[in-house]
Amino acid sequence: MPDLNFWYGTMGSSKTAQALMTKFQWETKGFRVALLKPDTDTRWGTGTVRSRVGLQSPCISVRPQDDLLLWKMSNPKYQSVLVDEVQFLQPKQIDQLKEIAMRWVPVSCYGLKTDFRTQLFPASKRLFEIADHIFEIPSVCRCGRKAQVNARIKEGHIQKEGDLIEIGGEERYVSLCYKCYQEERLW
């Protein structure tokens, strides 16, 4: 039976690159792969998944109201489903991905575990509850410890309050260990 897998890590840990390499692997074996991305993530535009190392691929944009079960039923050709930036999906869409994995094809999700306040994203929480397999993609804080926090930066300071979703890259976020985050040490 296919599984629902969740690959998580902090920003800059290579989650998107891993998703794109997985897509490449499946396709070189002759499989048809659907690459999905929530339309909330507009950093590289819609319709494209792109990693910091330059890998990219066209993708299918998913809106919060989209029913992924209906989408899969009308797209039976896909033999694997990959989802980048999964933390921006709705929890009910995670349930739909689980159903897709139970009924038809393997589903692998890539995303953040927690937001800049160190709280679980609702979709990530749901994945921790129902995913068949959970894998961490580790990354390193500037001090050398394991990075665990996606710290949001504004004017050289760590923000601990604000809107949940604010799209950005290295100019807005830095991966830190919890100690550096608590001490507000940006190096």
- Model pLDDT for residues 32-43, shown as the tens digit of each residue: 999 999 998 877
pLDDT at 110 over 90: yes
Average pLDDT for 3-24: 96
Average pLDDT, the chain: 93
pLDDT at 169 over 70: no
Selected residue with higher pLDDT from 86 and 173: 86
**What is the structure's pLDDT at 52?**
83
Average pLDDT for 98-119: 97
User: Whole-structure pTM over 0.95, yes or no?
Assistant: no
Q: Is 166 a catalytic residue?
A: no
Nearest CA to 65 among 48, 90, 36? 90
Average pLDDT for 135-139: 97
The predicted-structure confidence for 94-108, as pLDDT tens digits, reads as follows 999 999 999 999 999
3-state helix, strand, coil in the chain (%, to 5): 25, 25, 45
Are the C-beta atoms of residues 145 and 177 closer than 8 Å to each other? yes
pLDDT at 175 over 90: yes
Q: Per DSSP, what are the bridge partners of residue 153?
A: 158
- Options 27, 85, 161, 170, the catalytic residue: 85
How many Å apart are CA 158 and CA 145, to the nearest integer?
18
**What is the structure's pLDDT at 46?**
83
**What is the structure's pLDDT at 4?**
98
Q: What is the distance between the terminal CA atoms of the chain, rounded to a whole angstrom?
A: 47
